Structure 1
């Protein structure tokens, strides 16, 4: 079984048992979350393509980790003008494990 889900503005191809790093989802480690934005579901017999979402399809996943990505430095400079700006950013993420795909 295979599915395409949308979360955090991005699309992911998943199957049960996958570990996935997505944008932050509220919850504690060990919580079960349901993702309702399922765009495509492929089973052994058929493929269901949503317009834009597959009706009554859900993905259940458990939260494995809440964390922060490594720091990214944003540096802006305009030559000969004395303008410099340095800023850092750490993106929050959630690691989830896909438990089941419900059609």
Structure 2
């Protein structure tokens, strides 16, 4: 079955431990609903650096990644449908869905 990467952009850091618990519960519920489709739950990402031929930019990149997950789905439409339930969407973030191509 094809694999897909969910790259998260944006979202908000919880402002209190209680809010953090609610956020984690939402993510755990979402992962639980996807069951065995979750190949790698990944996690949040820190500030990125962009490496190119002209050097290293320490500015987080053009569209900083705030986290990632890898899932299995029959096709892109099914992967997108799973991504639509992501808790980051309610925090103003977005999910980029990309198929992992077999080489």
Classify the TM-score, shorter chain.
Answer: under 0.3
| TM-score in terms of structure 1 length | 0.27
Q: Kindly indicate which of the two structures has a greater share of residues assigned to strand.
A: 1
Q: Kindly indicate which of the two structures has a greater share of residues assigned to helix.
A: 2
